[in-house]
Structure 1
């Protein structure tokens, strides 16, 4: 098991993602810095306080957030008061935003949930099949659902399910830009099966459409060319160097990148 997490390559900015991999679960949270404040602290807080038992329903997620948010609020309110001015106003008016996905695993089964566009995955090298928690690749164009301590969660943002596991399977989580790259490369490597979905995404006119167009001429072995290369990144330096190359090849959006995995 391993976690890899870096800020936007070459941008000299704070990494607002946070990832974890331990003996019970893997998880990724993508702090959304486009609004609010303390997104990096909020993503780390969410991942660090995940319960030992799986979150299986929207109600369980809602109850868990209700139990934990106040301590984060109190600690960050002190920081915001020290900063004062716009920082304090942002804290009170906007709050903090983040996505969250987690996978709890046992010998033969894994339970996942996702809120927003960070994604939980399971890949079987034996069957060459990839399962994931997301809806459709074209939906990466949509604004993500985000967890905020000051706002009510929306049922539409929550997804949950199970992965049936076989020995040798790989379960992993990734933040949105990296998830789009992974799903895109898998679907292109199985293009006859996903032709309609890929065509719809490519015609969307979004920036993601250009990545699909750029990748469509590449011969792709998903396991060896995509997943194995991510798993073989032994540290964040190698992870950044690899994803810089992917970015320079115009196959992925510039973003914070996080990846947490466990080999069954």
Structure 2
């Protein structure tokens, strides 16, 4: 197994990496390799960056396999985050204190557990932080899974989010997948997720649509696909995955420079960017 990872703050509107509201963590225990990623939704609530960091640093040691387990986990992490962050809240600032008490904090969630004893991985998630699973087929790849963004009404929809102050409002996706050596997993936050979905639609529309829901397939932006074709240089899945492997191995400055090209061609939204590649 080979792992690559990279992250960058929104270099158009933020000053440095301290303002990056994405968070991820890679670690292991005796049974699993664990991967966690979360995107703090800074447009709503407060302390969203801290909530995203808390989520990734408190991934359960083993997969969440039922709704009951999900609710118990969420109640526990919500209570512990509140106890952790409340002493730092500046109640002398009425705006901050009232917002913390009334709105809470919002973030997406994606957890992956990769078994050390079987060729199986488990995932749980809510929102548009997304896992892409590619199966190796001879010298190319097929896209098999795109989750949990495929649960949205449309790709451009506001994502489902979790908030420590509220009950778990959405079902937490729980899934297990058997894999083979040579397969690849990609995990990334929202803007990159959507950009990758559209690239996959260009490369293999049929396979990609099989991974999405009916409403997304009806509503995704055909005009954006036509726009992407203007600078299209990648025609096969393996070429795209190799491109992403090269991207993830760049320095932070080179990574931002490459994404700047996408943004200036109106192919990518301005945002924080994070992704992980796992070659199985």
> Shorter-chain TM-score category?
0.7 to 0.9
Kindly indicate whether the alpha-carbon contact (under 8 Å) linking 1:185 and 1:222 is maintained by their aligned counterparts in 2: no
CA distance in 2, matches of 1:194, 1:152: 33
Query: After TM superposition, what 4+ stretches of structure 1 lie above 4 angstroms from structure 2?
Result: 192-199
SS in 2 for 1:230: helix
**Equivalence map 1:15-54=2 (5 Å):** 15-23=20-28, 24-54=33-63
Q: Which has the higher helix share?
A: 1
2:113 is aligned with 1:104: yes
Matched, 1:172 2:186: yes
Matched, 1:215 2:228: yes
Q: Which has the higher strand share?
A: 2
Partner Cα distance (2:267, 2:240) in 1: 12
* Alpha-carbon distance in structure 1 between the residues aligned to 2:254 and 2:239: 15
* Deviation by residue 1:175-228 (Cα, 9 ceiling, x = unmatched): 1111111111111101355689666312xxxxxx65323113424335455332
Gaps of 5+ in 1: 203-208
Worse-matched range after superposition: 141-150 or 7-16: 7-16
Pick which of 137-146 and 90-99 moved more: 137-146
What is the alpha-carbon distance in structure 1 between the residues aligned to residue 46 and residue 20 of structure 2?
Answer: 13
- Relative to the length of structure 2, the TM-score reads 0.82
Q: Name which of structure 1's ranges 78-87 and 31-40 shifts more when overlaid on structure 2.
A: 78-87
C-alpha change, 1:57 and 1:161, in structure 2 (3 Å) is: same
- 1:48-63 pair list within 5 angstroms: 48-63=57-72
The alpha-carbon deviation at position 99 of structure 1 amounts to 0.4
Assess if the C-alpha contact under 8 Å between 1:28 and 1:260 holds in 2: no
Whether contact under 8 Å (2:113, 2:122) holds in the other structure is yes
- Structure 1 contact 26–173 (Cα < 8 Å) conserved: no
Moved more, 59-68 or 36-45: 59-68
Equivalent position of 1:116 in the other structure: 127
Structure 1 contact 114–120 (Cα < 8 Å) conserved: no
**CA distance, structure 2, for counterparts of residue 144 and residue 230 of structure 1:** 24
Contact in 1 for aligned 2:131/2:188 (Cα 8 Å): yes
In angstroms, what is the RMSD of aligned CA positions? 2.4
* 1:137 shift after superposition: 8.0
Q: Over residues 144-190 of structure 1, what are the superposed CA-to-partner deviations in whole Å (9 max), with x where a residue is unaligned?
A: 1111011011234x322222211111112111111111111111101
Q: CA deviation at 1:55?
A: 1.5
1:140 counterpart residue number: 155
Asked whether the 8 Å contact 2:155–2:220 carries over to 1, the reply is no
Worse overlay, 107-116 or 5-14: 5-14
TM-score w.r.t. structure 1 length?
0.87
Q: Tell me if structure 2 keeps the 8 A contact 1:21–1:262.
A: no
184-193 or 86-95: which moved more? 184-193
Cα separation, 2, equivalents of 1:198 and 1:68: 35
- Matched with 2:219 is 200
Deviation at 1:41, TM superposition (A): 0.7
Query: Contact 1:188–1:194 (CA<8 Å) still a contact in 2?
Result: no
Counterparts of 2:74 and 2:205, CA distance in 1: 40
Aligned residue for 2:277? Answer: 261
